[in-house]
Structure 1
Amino acid sequence: MKKKRFLLSTVLMLVLSLVLAACGANNDEGNGAEDSGDSGAEKPKFISIVTGGTGGTYYPLGGSFASIISDATGIETNAETSGASAENMTTLKAGDAEIAFSQTDIASYAKDGKLMFEGNAVDNVQAIGTLYPETIQIVTTAKSGITSVEDLKGKKVSVGAPGSGTAANAEQILEVHGLSFDDIEKQDLSFDESTAGIQDGTIDAAFVTAGTPTGAVEALSATEEIVIVPIAAEKIAELLEAYPYYVEDEVPAGTYGLTDKVATVAVQAMLVVKSDLSEEVVYDVTKAIFENLDKVTHAKGKLISAENAVNGVGIDIHPGAQKYYDEKGIKAE
């Protein structure tokens, strides 16, 4: 009898040991998932993309990207209007959005704490990638009589919304022509406000840094004979020497009803992201955008590609975006 009880106790202890071992194994597996880097990171329910004004290129593109990200990742994504590049970098620093459009020059200023970011560097932002050239367009009308940058002296000129990157471009272009903001009646207006001001005669010209064709300028061309003020070749060379992030560009003939192409310069539009977003999420976002470009309805969608996204970035690329480029064998030229 005692022998039977001993055998029963032994069997029960063996079974209990097996159960505890199994539970321990399950707990180890669970802990491994939680600690396995980004695979255990919490996926955000919502992502906000800050863009620019409704009359520019950032806002409609941002709307397309938001739809693509929502559909491909299941993360609800929304595009919001803003004062564009400089304001967007500050917004990401404050944690009030996750992704932003920016000019490459402005993102570089922000990371380095230069110009408008002096004493207020943005250290929590990395790149997803560059998108397309941001053409600097000096917009006026035939009736203004303005045909050169020098003609802007003494005129009422919009240099872009407060917090935008357009003002820096305007200041640098005026600089190489021997002018400054003191030589113009500076106005700080959004693209829509600028073109409305040109139309009603309250301003004479406006700097617009955006992909062409730009919606606000297209709308103006429906009622006015548009002039895009050219930048002379020697001044372009001088600008590129002083500020290497510029590239030569042109506004093609036919744009806004122009008879001939117009020589100018450009920076690049880029997407930046908060660096604390997980590698997994940024990888998914990057893949979603570059593998669904056929769903982008704006004309600039044709200029965007993953192959060009790593060129001219100017700041560090987020590891999640880099993982996507590495998988595709994409390297900077």
Structure 2
Amino acid sequence: MATRRAVLRALGALGLVAALPGCSRSYPDLRLKLATGAKGGNYFTLGTALARAWQIELAATTEVLTTGGSLANLTLLASGGADVVISQVDTAADQLRRTPDGPRSPRALSRIYDDVVHVVVPAGSPVTALAGLRGARVSVGASDSGVLVIAQRLLRATGIDPVTGIRPTNLGITQSVAALEAGTIDAFFWSGGLPTPAVDDLARRLPIRLLDLGDIQQSLRKVYPVYTPGTVPAGSYTIPEPIQTLLVRNFLLVGAAMTDDVAHALIQALFQQQPALAQAIQLALTIDLRAAIGTQPVPLHPGAEAFYREAKNADS
């Protein structure tokens, strides 16, 4: 965990502890349900820290919901079971296509951080490309997770049916790591920060490789332009060579019906409490005022738009 001094120094170097709009007003009657992910994961850790930030800055009451991930979170947002959710861009874009308008249609408060797609195999595996997973025992991510969405898309783009072309199982990251180490699966998909602690720990016990996705980046992005090409640097997870992969943006989302003042207050409180967020999870250091508006194709909530305009004016 980073020290507060180190966090403030890092944020200052990025120009993120500069002028922000003034203090948030208090919302003691505001009750929010925040849908995150599995306990111990980045969504849950960041969501728990956000809940504390909103309690401190707004006097709001916030309940943190544990879920399977992006798909479950967007279902909760659409049904009214959650007021704020964290989601990957691909699943958010799908939900926006289904419900472009209406009170529960997704609207973004912020781009928060980017995930790196991992396809993990033991170092001694004969599989060297996605096509080699045909017929293999593969964890495609937990049910209702964003990992499942991208795993199925990658497999289809390779010409593998994600149901019949492999022997799929739905495991979260902790269970996937344990299953690969035990030899009960041959590979697993994951989308998370770099490094993902669970994968890093696995690499210390079991030599692993990441499958290179360079040969499929272009064809997948023609169909799903929400993904961005990326590289896992050499040395990550003790893998000597760089690996071509995909990056997946993560968003903080609310329903379109949220009032502008509440949406404004939520995102303002996030940036005011960013040092505390970064102490809880270092990924919060990457939440950047300049990049936060990059939520396409999901539109920014008008209240969030107003906040970013004010922040820009305050910094000029």
TM bin (shorter chain): 0.7 to 0.9
Which structure has greater helix proportion? 1
Q: 1: distance between equivalents of 2:26 and 2:257?
A: 11
Is the aligned partner of 1:88 residue 2:73? yes
Counterpart for residue 186 of structure 1: 168
Q: Give the Å deviation of 1:146.
A: 2.5
More moved, 253-262 vs 172-181 = 253-262
Alignment equivalent of 1:225, drawn from 195, 198, 207? 207
> What runs of 5+ residues in structure 1 fail to find an aligned partner?
1-38
Q: 1: distance between equivalents of 2:235 and 2:54?
A: 33
- The Cα offsets for residues 46-87 of structure 1, whole Å up to 9 and x where unpaired, read as 322211123532122222222222211111334332111111
CA contact (8 A) 1:111 1:122 kept: no
- TM alignment of 1:13-28, pairs within 5 A: none
Q: Secondary structure at the match of 2:245?
A: strand
Which amino acid letter does the alignment assign opposite residue 73 of structure 2? N
Q: Secondary structure at the match of 1:143?
A: coil
Counterpart for residue 303 of structure 1: 286
> What runs of 5+ residues in structure 2 fail to find an aligned partner?
1-23
Counterpart for residue 199 of structure 1: 181
Q: TM-score, normalised by structure 1?
A: 0.79
Counterpart for residue 115 of structure 2: 134
Structure with greater contact order relative to length (CA < 8 Å, sep ≥ 6): 2
Counterpart for residue 146 of structure 2: 165
Q: Give the Å deviation of 1:43.
A: 5.3
Which amino acid letter does the alignment assign opposite residue 288 of structure 2? S
Is the aligned partner of 1:267 residue 2:252? no
Q: 2: distance between equivalents of 1:300 and 1:242?
A: 29
CA contact (8 A) 1:92 1:99 kept: yes
Q: Give the Å deviation of 1:268.
A: 0.5
Relative to structure 1, the CA distance from residue 135 to residue 122 in structure 2 (aligned partners, 3 Å threshold; closer, same or farther) is: farther
Counterpart for residue 26 of structure 1: none
Is the aligned partner of 1:102 residue 2:87? yes
Alignment equivalent of 2:35, drawn from 26, 39, 50? 50
Q: 2: distance between equivalents of 1:213 and 1:112?
A: 32
Instruction: Tell me the C-alpha RMSD between the 2 structures.
Output: 2.5
Is the aligned partner of 1:322 residue 2:315? no
Counterpart for residue 6 of structure 2: none
Q: 1: distance between equivalents of 2:228 and 2:291?
A: 15
Q: 2: distance between equivalents of 1:142 and 1:261?
A: 15
Relative to structure 1, the CA distance from residue 57 to residue 86 in structure 2 (aligned partners, 3 Å threshold; closer, same or farther) is: same
Which amino acid letter does the alignment assign opposite residue 283 of structure 2? K
CA contact (8 A) 2:79 2:104 kept: no
Aligned residue-pair number: 286
User: Which entry has the higher C-alpha Rg, 1 or 2?
Assistant: 1
Q: Give the Å deviation of 1:40.
A: 12
Which amino acid letter does the alignment assign opposite residue 263 of structure 1? Q
- The Cα offsets for residues 255-282 of structure 1, whole Å up to 9 and x where unpaired, read as 3232232110122110101333322222
Q: TM-score, normalised by structure 2?
A: 0.83
Which amino acid letter does the alignment assign opposite residue 150 of structure 1? A
More moved, 271-280 vs 100-109 = 271-280
Q: Give the Å deviation of 1:192.
A: 1.4
Q: 2: distance between equivalents of 1:196 and 1:55?
A: 15
Q: Give the Å deviation of 1:122.
A: 8.8
Which amino acid letter does the alignment assign opposite residue 221 of structure 1? A
- TM alignment of 1:244-255, pairs within 5 A: 244-255=225-236
Q: Secondary structure at the match of 1:239?
A: helix
CA contact (8 A) 2:103 2:256 kept: no
Relative to structure 1, the CA distance from residue 143 to residue 193 in structure 2 (aligned partners, 3 Å threshold; closer, same or farther) is: same
Alignment equivalent of 1:278, drawn from 231, 250, 259? 259
Q: Give the Å deviation of 1:42.
A: 7.2
